[in-house]
Amino acid sequence: MKLTFLGTGGGLPSPTRGVSALAVQMGRDMLLFDCGEGTQRQFMISPLSFMKVKSIFITHFHGDHFLGLPGLIQSMNFSGREEDLFIFGPAGMVDITATIATLGEFQPSFNICARDIEAGERVNLGRCTVTAIHSDHTVPALSYVLEEPPRRGRFRVDRARELGVPRGPLFSQLQAGKSVTVRGREISPEEVMGPPRPGRKVVYSGDTRPTEALIEAARGAEVLVHEATLDSTLSEGAWEYGHSTARDAAEVAKAAEVGTLILTHISNRYDDAAVLEAEAREIFPNTVVAHDLMTFTVRVRERA
Amino acid sequence: MKLTFLGTGGGLPSPTRGVSALAVQMGRDMLLFDCGEGTQRQFMISPLSFMKVKSIFITHFHGDHFLGLPGLIQSMNFSGREEDLFIFGPAGMVDITATIATLGEFQPSFNICARDIEAGERVNLGRCTVTAIHSDHTVPALSYVLEEPPRRGRFRVDRARELGVPRGPLFSQLQAGKSVTVRGREISPEEVMGPPRPGRKVVYSGDTRPTEALIEAARGAEVLVHEATLDSTLSEGAWEYGHSTARDAAEVAKAAEVGTLILTHISNRYDDAAVLEAEAREIFPNTVVAHDLMTFTVRVRERA
């Protein structure tokens, strides 16, 4: 699972940061969280192809989070897309999609399936689920929790040996979930496999003040991608406009005991985001500030 | 008068070219011709401020020519704009503006005055006029002719001397359009000023096959900005999709006897547009291929 930060700016773009868009590759599938203006061009600058995007999750309807949709859709069409495209977002997503998918002299020749979703709803995409949770912004907005299904438990070699299973093909059969017979006794996989282990979890905050709901939802996540529009000397302004400071994001990450915190949605007032990284690391050391086209490989986090 | 090419790509953006947008500065005013996705960010990368844009002229409603409008409008609002914004375009401009000016959770706090215009219509902007002419594309589309009002004629020093006007303040009065009295005889400005000279003219083709109408409209222009999506080995494809080759554009420039030809709307198949420049220069030597953020100062062309 690989994250590519296509746009990491907040509100307005800047010469160095496009507006919000985060691509998540899982095998041959790709999801996109938010799609600010210019996302199609960021794809072109990256090694990714926007033709691989299957599902798009929009957090809310401020322009910097969704105005890249019409151009992306038109360019997908121009590039010969035939595959369905799924778009999820808060109430209004279906109406907005109907409007933006046919702007100007354009009709898409592929299906665009939009759906309004509510906090608490879970979308099953096969390889993963995406759950919407309420976020605390100035307009209706969602955060998203991406989770893989639980992975098989660990194979307990010591236990298998105790039961007399010899190393070799019988180990493989048990690991594949099949029972085996050793000295006339049937041994089921459950006897030698540990409990299922949670799949990887990545949480994308969208625009939000720090919330308890996000802490709960992000608990133990491999990666929390949290907005950090401003630094903590400007917290009043951040909260007034429904945003978080880098310190806020770090406190959420710490409380949720995530693996890595990645800060994004950085205001264009920062030429250098080092101040944000520094203040977050005081609270949560494993923090990085995203930059445009940064990639991050999400590895399974072995929990105690 | 200064042109800034904010986006010079055709159809799709590329890593090196944004989609169509051309800013024209005239004193403190700025016009924008077309506004493809990403125009606001191109402004931020350039030395120009999008807050100075007073009037926008859209050539047609393919996404790469107008999908930057909603983001530009939202960012103008975010940046505190109070001044009216004028948007002109082919039939449908008023409806499209109504849609895109209120997309998502947004209401502009400044006036947006949109107007549908037809080929032949002239818009008077004070400092200049912009005339729409029919272009030959796959959908209804316009080209635009920007013209300054005629300039005062030349002051004929030889004639003034013949009439006995002494060098000095009386020269200035005549140049300012006032009559003067010399040795009891009133001399009017008309006696010593040459005929009015045309103002500068810049023509922007938008997307079009080569047309006679554009040749007529561009006659004698200082600058013709003409699309050149493809090179002449691909002319069938270019014409099928309502476009011109670099050779076509050069033939228009030659027939219209313009000063400079600037090629834009370059297909993303060209990593290097030298092939387009070379084929155009064979026909019209004073040709340049625009690149993103290129500027061009339009100087008065002294005609014979």
Largest CA distance in chain A: 74
Nearest to A71 among B15, B63, B74 (CB): B63
Start-end of H helices in chain A? 39-45, 63-66, 69-78, 93-100, 157-162, 169-175, 189-192, 212-218, 235-240, 246-256, 274-283
Q: Does A14 touch chain B (CB under 8 A)?
A: yes
Supply A80's token pair. 């010969």
- How many beta-carbon contacts under 8 Å exist across A and B? 105
Closest to B140 (Cα-Cα) out of B120, B119, B125: B119
B-chain CB neighbours of A99 within 8 Å are 99, 103
Closest to B24 (Cα-Cα) out of B107, B129, B114, B116: B129
What region, left, alpha or beta, does residue A88 occupy, with left being phi > 0 and alpha being psi -120 to 50 degrees?
beta
Q: Is B241 helix (H, G, I), strand (E, B) or coil?
A: coil
Predicted local distance difference test score (pLDDT) of residue B64: 97
- Indicate the Cα dihedral angle A69, A70, A72, A77, nearest 10°: 140
A-chain CB neighbours of B41 within 8 Å are 13-15, 18, 37-38
Predicted local distance difference test score (pLDDT) of residue B31: 98
pTM of the model: 0.91
Yes or no, beta carbons of A105 and B11 under 8 Å apart: no
Residue A274 DSSP symbol: H
pLDDT-flagged residues of chain A (< 50): none
Do A7 and A17 touch, CB atoms closer than 8 A?
Answer: yes
DSSP string, A1-58: -EEEEEE-EESS--SS---SEEEEEETTEEEEEEE-TTHHHHHHHSS--GGGEEEEE-
Predicted local distance difference test score (pLDDT) of residue B135: 97
A-chain CB neighbours of B12 within 8 Å are 40, 44, 75, 78-79
Query: What is the distance between the alpha carbons of residues A175 and A183, in angstroms, rounded to a whole number?
Result: 19
Query: What is the distance between the alpha carbons of residues A236 and B127, in angstroms, rounded to a whole number?
Result: 45
Start-end of H helices in A176-302? 189-192, 212-218, 235-240, 246-256, 274-283
Window A:35-54, CB contacts with B under 8 Å: 37-38, 40-41, 44-45
Do A46 and A18 touch, CB atoms closer than 8 A?
Answer: no
Domains belonging to chain A, first-starting first, are 2-151+197-297 (3.60.15.10), 157-191 (no CATH)
Q: How far is A107 from chain B (nearest CA, A)?
A: 11
Q: Is A147 helix (H, G, I), strand (E, B) or coil?
A: strand
Do A195 and A212 touch, CB atoms closer than 8 A?
Answer: no
Query: What is the distance between the alpha carbons of residues B150 and A176, in angstroms, rounded to a whole number?
Result: 85
Predicted local distance difference test score (pLDDT) of residue B302: 74
pLDDT digit string, tens, across residues A62-109:
999 999 999 999 999 999 999 999 999 999 999 999 999 999 999 999
Predicted local distance difference test score (pLDDT) of residue A303: 64
pLDDT digit string, tens, across residues B226-235:
999 999 999 9
Q: How far is A1 from chain B (nearest CA, A)?
A: 25
B-chain CB neighbours of A74 within 8 Å are 63-64, 67
Yes or no, beta carbons of B63 and A70 under 8 Å apart: yes
Yes or no, beta carbons of B41 and A13 under 8 Å apart: yes
Predicted local distance difference test score (pLDDT) of residue B218: 97
Q: Which amino acid is at A51?
A: M
Predicted local distance difference test score (pLDDT) of residue B152: 86
pLDDT-flagged residues of chain B (< 50): none
Residue with tokens 């746009």: A7
Closest to A56 (Cα-Cα) out of A144, A135, A147: A144
